[in-house]
Amino acid sequence: MSAPPAATDSKTSGTGARKSAILAIICISYFMVILDNSIIFTGLPRTESAMHFSPTGLTWVSGALTAAAALLAVALVAVLVLIAWRGRARPSQRPALEAQATRVAAGIRS
């Protein structure tokens, strides 16, 4: 009967740290969404009085700000994933990854 694989096996050694990092990222992201929404909802009365928006207009303002924040968050995550992937990629794959990162960055600017 053979012994079970050791806990320091190369495939399992980083699993706990990786799961903890993913959980931390999810918690921080959720906190940022709540913070962003509280800032938006706190500023809506002043926006309504300064720009003479109707309640329907305020709905559009809050929706647009939330969508813009989500778009920037997704773009940032995509760039970070590409950067991390580029670090692990073989040298022959790097030009394609750099071109893909450039297209993502160009999409952010437009």
Q: Distances from the Cα of 87 to the Cαs of 77, 83, 97, 107, in angstroms?
A: 15, 6, 10, 22
Kindly report, residue by residue over 4-23, the tens digit of the pLDDT. Answer: 555 555 555 567 777 787 78
* Cα 85 from Cα 80, distance rounded (Å): 8
Position 64 in a domain = yes
Position 5 in a domain = no
Per-residue model confidence (pLDDT) at position 70: 79
> Domain total for the chain?
1
Per-residue model confidence (pLDDT) at position 72: 80
Position 96 in a domain = yes
- Provide the Cα torsion 73, 74, 78, 80; round to 10°: 20
Q: Distances from the Cα of 104 to the Cαs of 53, 69, 96, in angstroms?
A: 34, 16, 13
Tell me the whole-structure pTM to 2 decimals.
0.48
**Exposure of 51 in the CB half-sphere (CA atoms within 13 A):** 13
Residue 89: which domain range?
15-109
Per-residue model confidence (pLDDT) at position 76: 78
Position 7 in a domain = no
Percent of the chain with pLDDT over 70: 67
Q: Rounded to an integer, what is the distance from CA 85 to the centroid of its chain?
A: 16
